[in-house]
Each structure stands twice: as structure tokens, then as C-alpha cells.
Amino acid sequence: MRNMMTGLLACGLMLGLTTISSAADPGSKVQTPKGFRMSKLRGCDVKNVQGEKLGTVDDFVINADTGTINYMAFGTGGVLGLGEKLFAVPFDQVKMTFDGSNIFFVVNVSKDKIKNSKGFDKDAWPDNAPAGFAGPIERSAATPKPGTRQ
């Protein structure tokens, strides 16, 4: 038991020193956290693959049975929530991006489609996002630059 505890302590120290040394080395890759508090993500910008702002994150809907996120809801238009249109995008068609100073989300939907779509009523949230609203997105691709197509 004592040998196992000593081994675990040694592994922990090695991992800690590796993290410290890579943080001190400016040439090493900076790792970003994979976990984010949902409360910190509300209000983040939502952009399309061309880099145009579509709206802001309103909320996320989870599946209580599976523990996964069903969709991200974002709002566009309106003033102080009045006249705002809400849209649901399946979470597997959303890419969370960090540009060095801000977190934002990228979806494969044109501004024209947003403008010409009804969205959903803020008093009648769907259980799931409608199929086919957003196109597929490469979640592992680099951050899209304004004016470029993915």
C-alpha cells in the first residue's frame, strides 16, 4: 500500500512539474480547458462560418436521460428581449471557438436563412432542434476568419 501511495505521489509530482515547465516554455502549446460553466457561455456571440455575427447564446437544452446537450438556442434581433427571434441548433452542429480574448460559437447558417426563418416562441421551447436548420460544421477546424468559407 505504501509503495502504491509513493508511486501515485511521484506521478502527481511529475505531472505537476510537466505542466509548470510547459507553461514556462513560450514555445509550447497552450492548452485550453475543456469544461466551461454554462452560465459563463450565455450571451456569447454566435457567428456563421463567414464570421458574420448572427446573434447571442440564449441558453442550452440538455437531455436529462443521456446527460448530453440537445441544442444551443440563440437569439437575434429585438431590443431588450422584445421582438427577439430564437433559433435552436443541434449541439453537434455547433463549434465553440476561442479567438484569444473571446469565446464565441460558430454555426453553418447564413444570415439570409436567419432573416427568413420563423425561429421558435420563447414560451414554447422545443425538446430538440429541427433537423436541417444548420449545415454540418467541422468542429476540429481552425477558427474561421471573416470573409472566408469553410
CATH code of the domain covering residue 86 = 2.30.30.240
Q: Which of 104, 106, 88, 101 is nearest to 42 (CA)?
A: 104
Q: Does any domain span residue 102?
A: yes
At 70 the pLDDT is 94
Distance of alpha carbon 143 from alpha carbon 66, whole angstroms: 29
HSE-CB for 48 with a 13 A CA cutoff: 17
In tens, the pLDDT along 9-18 reads 333 333 333 3
Q: Does any domain span residue 17?
A: no
> If residue 98 lies in a helix (H) or strand (E), which one and from where to where?
strand 94-98
126: left (phi over 0), alpha (psi -120 to 50) or beta: beta
Residue 149 has pLDDT above 50, yes or no: no
| Of 32-46, 55-69, 84-98, the least confident | 32-46
Return phi, psi of residue 76, to 5°.
-145, 150
Q: Does any domain span residue 77?
A: yes
Q: Does any domain span residue 13?
A: no
Domain count, the chain: 1
Of the chain, the end-to-end C-alpha distance in Å amounts to 54
Which structural domain range is residue 146 located in?
Answer: 36-150
At 140 the pLDDT is 63
Q: Does any domain span residue 63?
A: yes
Q: Does any domain span residue 72?
A: yes
Residue 115 has pLDDT above 50, yes or no: yes
Return phi, psi of residue 53, to 5°.
-70, 130
HSE-CB for 123 with a 13 A CA cutoff: 1
- Mean pLDDT, the chain, as a whole number? 76
Q: Does any domain span residue 6?
A: no
In tens, the pLDDT along 46-60 reads 999 999 999 999 999
Q: Does any domain span residue 8?
A: no
